[in-house]
Structure formats: structure tokens, C-alpha cells
Amino acid sequence: MKYVVTGCAGFVGSNLTDRLLADGHEVVGYDNFSTGRMAFLSQALDHKRFRLVRGDVLDLGDLTAAVAGADVVMHLAANADVRFGTDHPRRDLEQNTIATWNVLEAMRQGGVKRIGFSSTGSVYGEPQVFPTPEDAPFPVQTSLYGASKAAGEALIAAYCTGFAMRGCIFRFVSILGERYSHGHVFDFYKQLLDHSGQLHVLGNGQQRKSYLYVQDCLDAMLLAMDRSSGPVDVFNLGTDEYCTVNDSIGWITGQLGLRPAVTYAGGERGWIGDSPFIFLHCGKIRKLGWAPKFTIKQGIERTLQFLQKNPWILERK
Amino acid sequence: MKYVVTGCAGFVGSNLTDRLLADGHEVVGYDNFSTGRMAFLSQALDHKRFRLVRGDVLDLGDLTAAVAGADVVMHLAANADVRFGTDHPRRDLEQNTIATWNVLEAMRQGGVKRIGFSSTGSVYGEPQVFPTPEDAPFPVQTSLYGASKAAGEALIAAYCTGFAMRGCIFRFVSILGERYSHGHVFDFYKQLLDHSGQLHVLGNGQQRKSYLYVQDCLDAMLLAMDRSSGPVDVFNLGTDEYCTVNDSIGWITGQLGLRPAVTYAGGERGWIGDSPFIFLHCGKIRKLGWAPKFTIKQGIERTLQFLQKNPWILERK
């Protein structure tokens, strides 16, 4: 099959690109390299079935040309940083909502009928039900990131209904693994490289979060795309466990052999719009036969190994 | 208080403007007159406390200037037509999502802290629970209109959390009454003027819909804005009844003294994305002491009287 992967030079996008190529598919990768890294595509670029298009998801013309003739678009390009939304309030709207509309419109113009979308557990805002199922009560958004992804989901569902497309929407917990390049493991590791005896934590360290290893995430996405039948299918993707920020600190410092003094900014939330508890009910994807092969602890350890082996990733792009 | 009403020359917006002026408030009306009518502002324009700004909600600069110094923005400007979304798939995104972001951003820049927003029962897609409560299961969108309004709601909630604003989101059923200028009563009346012996109906006539009289709607909105305490409060606004399209046809033809031959396009839905059953649970707004004063039948009759007295409204703008 012929796939287009938007955000092909990103963390999840580049891993997906490699996987699709390994599975025998043709892949058109689309990225503007604003946060993506060419180094993540080193394997893909050696591949005959891969074609790279340097383009912006805000450019409908380029996008329409890129998706022409594809069977499936995996739309992973995004502003993936939940934390700094209020510093640049238009970024999430543009990168996650308008960009998703552009992808859908490019598909409609090119007659491409299938889409997979990387959404987020943040669309549940601060849920009342744990683990949170896909049909949780209609959420009230608490972050610009969550709002912009919820909007992207809504557009996909409307396009699927209106134009006889088929879509799978994946609500990720935080993803870990090789090529991980932002998030708390990254921040903590960077701090500990700078000053091994000291670690500063946003919030009170009691925030409960859930994580999933990137290869487990890809297994789930591809299985769901294969098996889903409805016009729009929504899947939570996560492990059946969660950990506290303090658990995570214990694993990270343990692996590094450090015992830093930990200070806390305080408060239940790491920042405005941070959800103090993320734990998704993943029974729907498990019913299709999927189960994660890695625990959260293993995912964090692999992430840390990746960061240790790739010090260049810590430099600001 | 000083209010800004976007869409002040529209059906609900102009009624709200007149009401706010009658209640002693200052009103800045903002409209681009793409669908709004100057005639709807004839009373307001005579008023000292009213100022009209001709501007587009897609113009952030004009909008920012218009909201400066206001206490409250009532954001009613929208593409309000749920039916033709697939004919112009960017319109809902622009008019209902990007425009709402612009309103929020203009407010943030101007330090305006309170917003009221006209959303829609269409954000529930095709719900499974009737009457549908505000915390119904996370919906799958079925129309570009519903998706674009759900996106607008999400942005409002995120801005309220991120920038300490306060918002009331109103999920309307279809609104009826004076200055009504699009929808099924309009379409049916127009058909019967053209050929009194014949009426063609989209769908099978069994679609069940709920309606609310515009003055009842305004009572509810203003009460909610007054009483709401949380950063984001969502209210369904409707009557505790619904009717079928055929019921409505009976009331309309009865009032006109006509007995047309009725033909049906067939199918459960009037068009792609039409929800065959809309009936909202309005317990939350009723708990604040509100109750509608008019039944659906009375609302339809008043709408028809307005159309009969104002034949100019039937001409295409």
C-alpha cells in the first residue's frame, strides 16, 4: 500500500516510517523540519520505497500534491508540546487544527479515503473517570493543546461522515522510546547532565501519568487501521498502569546511579492546563488482540539509553 | 455593563442587542453583514448606548479594537447553516472555529474576561441518550457545522483555563421567532408561497427536532451569564419537548389554511450529517430558575406570523 506520513521526521513519525517500509509498503514522508530531524530518516532515505517531501502542513497546495495517489494518510505532524500553549496561543490552532483540516481537504481533493490521526489523552481535560474510556463524559478542555487536538478529531469525524472517508483516531498517552526528544525524561536527563546533584520538578511530584513504548504504539496503530470497520473509530492507546513523577525520578536516577536533591515547584499541576492524572482505559484496542510488550519502567529505561547514546539530541535544534 | 455582540445584525444577535439595550447596558455591535440585515438593527441604531462596528470576525485587528474596554463579549457571529457544510468545507472552519479563536485572542489582548457563546446541540452528533445531557458520552461529530462549533467550544474552555477568563457555552436547539431567516419554517413557507398545493420535504418527515423561542433563549442566556460561577459553564438550551417534521407541517399548513400534497425525498436524515433526533436535557438551566414561556407550536406560529408580515425577508440577500 502507499502511505503518506506527515511529520515523518518526528519521534513517532520516523519510527512509523521505518516500520511501514520494513512491512513492504511505499511511503511518502512529509515534514517541514521545524522540529523534525533529518537524522531520524537516515534508514528511510536509503530505501527505494521512500520519498521525502519537504513541505508545510499549512500549505494546502504542497500537501495536495503529496497525498495524490496514496491509499492512507497517517497524520502525525503536530505541535506536540502540551506545555507552552499559553506562550504562543495561535500555534496549537495552526499546527493541530488548521493543519488537520488541510490534510483532510488535500485528501478529499485527491480522492484519498483513509486517515490515521495521532490525538492525545489530553482531549479528556481533567476527567472524572479512571481509567478513562473513549466514551467518557463530554470533556471540558483545559489546555490549548488538548483543545486543538479535540478540534482536529472533530474535523476528521465530520469529513469521514460527509465525504465517505474512514478514519482511526488514536488518543495517546505520552510515548517513550528511541528518538524521543521532548518531555519529562528529556528534561530530567538534561538537568542531571548539567548538575548531577540537583533536580527541579514542576508540580509536587505526585502527578500520575501513563506512558507507552513507541513500538507498542505502532503495533496498536497498524492493527487498528487493519481491523477497524466503521467510518470513524477512536482508540485510547496506553498501558494498563500509571506511575507518579516521583516513581519516574526513582527509575531515572537509579539507572544513572545518581542521588540528586529533588526540589518541587509545588502544586497539583506542573503547569496551567496540566492534567494531574492521566490513565486511559485501553480495553477497545486490547479487544483487537493487542497488548503492550513493555512496561512504563522499561519504556523509560529504553528512552534514557537512547538519550545517553545520542547526546546530539539534547542540543537545541 | 458594556457588551460586545458579534453577529449583532443576525437573528439571535439583533434580538439580544435590543434586549441588552432595553436592560440599560451599553452595546457595541459587530457584524460584516454577510448574512446579517441592517433592518434588524433599526431600533438599536436609534439608541444612544449602541455603537455599530462594520467588521469581520476574521479580522483580528478590527476585532481587538472593537472589544477594547468591554466587560462581556457575546459571540454569536457564525455560519449558522448546518445543512450545506459539504458544499464549502472551509466555511465552517473559518466562520465558527478560527473566528472564535480570533474573538478569544482579541479579548486576551484587551483584557476582556467574560464570554458567552452560541453553540449548538449538533455538537452531540447522533447521540445515544435522550434527552441528551451536557455530559453525554464524548461525541463523534457528524457534520462540519457541529465539528466547527465543538472546536469553538474547546478553544473557549482552553482560553478560560489558560488566561483566567470565564465563559458560558450555550448549546441551542433550533431557535424560532421574530427575525428568523433560515431553516425549515422559512423553507416550507417559501415553497407554499410559490406553489400552495405542493410541499417537498427532505427526509421522511419523521425526523424529531426540538425548538426554542428566541425570547426564551435570551432569558436563559442572560440568566446563565448572571448566575454561572465556574470558569467554563455549558448549558443546553431547549424546551422539554420535541416534534416531528410532519407535526410542524401540520401546524404551518393549518395556520396558512392550506392542504398541500406532501412529497418526501425519503431517508431517515434530511441531508448528510443531519441528526434524525435532537432533544436536549435542559435540567441544568432550569435549576437556575428558567423555564420557557412558549411551546414549540407557539414558536412556529410566531415565526410564521413574522414571515407573513415581512415578505422582504424571503428575498435572497
Q: Which of A125, A144, A162 sits opposite B144 (nearest CB)?
A: A162
Q: What confidence tier does B46 reach under pLDDT thresholds 50, 70, 90?
A: very high
Cα–Cα nearest to B103, from B45, B177, B167: B167
Average pLDDT of B37-65? 97
Say if residues B178 and B300 touch (Cβ distance below 8 Å).
Answer: no
- For a pLDDT cut of 70, what percent of chain B falls above it? 99
CA distance A193 to chain B (A): 32
What interhelical angle do B144-163 and B99-110 show, nearest 10? 20
Lowest-pLDDT range, A106-110, B186-190, B266-270, B271-275? B271-275
- What distance in Å separates the CA atoms of residue B144 and residue B148, rounded to the nearest whole number? 6
Q: Which of A124, A140, A144 sits opposite B232 (nearest CB)?
A: A140
Fold of A2-175+211-237: Rossmann fold (3.40.50)
Average per-residue pLDDT for chain A: 96
CA distance A194 to chain B (A): 31
pLDDT at A304: 97
A232 touches chain B (CB under 8 A): yes
pLDDT at A16: 98
CATH of domain A176-209+241-278+291-314: 3.90.25.10
Catalytic residue among B3, B30, B124, B145: B145
B84 touches chain A (CB under 8 A): no
CA distance B99 to chain A (A): 11
Does residue B222 carry a pLDDT above 70? yes
Per residue in B269-300, pLDDT (tens digit) is 988 888 999 999 999 999 999 999 999 999 99
Torsion angles phi and psi, residue A234, rounded to 5: -110, 130
DSSP state for residue B132 in the 8-state scheme: B
Does residue A317 carry a pLDDT above 70? no
Average pLDDT of B209-220? 98
CA distance B92 to chain A (A): 10
Identify the helix (H) or strand (E) that includes residue B289. none
Does residue B80 carry a pLDDT above 90? no
Does residue B104 carry a pLDDT above 70? yes
Does residue A28 carry a pLDDT above 70? yes
Per residue in A146-183, pLDDT (tens digit) is 999 999 999 999 999 999 999 999 999 999 999 999 89
Catalytic residue among A3, A124, A145, A189: A145
Say if residues A97 and A141 touch (Cβ distance below 8 Å).
Answer: no
Does residue B242 carry a pLDDT above 70? yes
B234 contact residues in A (CB cutoff 8 A): 138, 140
> Could you report the predicted ipTM of this complex, rounded to two decimals?
0.95
List the single residue in B with minimal CA-CA distance to A108: B89
User: Does the beta-carbon distance from A143 to B136 stay under 8 Å?
Assistant: no
A124 is catalytic: no
CATH of domain B177-209+241-278+291-314: 3.90.25.10
Assigned architecture for domain B2-175+212-237: 3-Layer(aba) Sandwich (3.40)
Does residue A134 carry a pLDDT above 80? yes
- What distance in Å separates the CA atoms of residue B156 and residue B147, rounded to the nearest whole number? 14
Average pLDDT of A135-140? 97
The structural domains of chain A, with segments of one domain joined by +, span 2-175+211-237, 176-209+241-278+291-314
B236 touches chain A (CB under 8 A): no
Average pLDDT of B289-314? 96
Does residue B83 carry a pLDDT above 90? no
Say if residues A34 and A236 touch (Cβ distance below 8 Å).
Answer: no
